[in-house]
Amino acid sequence: MNKNIRSYGLIIYQKKILVTNEIINDYHATKFPGGGVESNETPEEALKREVYEELRLKSDIKLLLNAPGTLLSPWNNKLYTPLYYYVEASGKPSIPDNEKLTIDYLLPEEILFKDNVAEPEKVAVQNLIKNNLI
């Protein structure tokens, strides 16, 4: 059974958090870079791969911020198991042509009050704040 494990990274730049804006099943979602874990990789390896694929950034995973367990996605009505990490990245983001996303840098407060950000992502931001990482 595919457990649909997904790894996401919170990348900080000048006290703001990098977010991606994507359309998921006609829903305009603001989320963190990342994606699905393949069968031959760890969640950390998957996150490094995804950050590079989406943004062309090299990344270093520092801390697991939120592991809420398996949830039902409000965006596609499927089960998924998200993991949220604090990540340090080097370089300037560059989105390849095949990626259908845009990026923004938002203050933690902006993320916490956005309606199109999933609740587990907001918890990850709150944990980033609690750990004095931003």
Q: Measured between alpha carbons, how far is 49 from 36 in angstroms, rounded to an integer?
A: 10
Paired residues of 63 in beta bridges: 86
Report helix, strand and coil shares of the chain as percent, to nearest 5. 20, 40, 35
Binned at pLDDT 50, 70 and 90, residue 74 comes out as: confident
The secondary structure of 20-55 as a DSSP string is EEEEETTEEEEE-SEEEPPTTS-HHHHHHHHHHHHH
pLDDT tens for residues 95-121?
999 999 999 999 999 999 999 999 999
Binned at pLDDT 50, 70 and 90, residue 2 comes out as: low
Topology at the third CATH level for domain 5-130: Nucleoside Triphosphate Pyrophosphohydrolase (3.90.79)
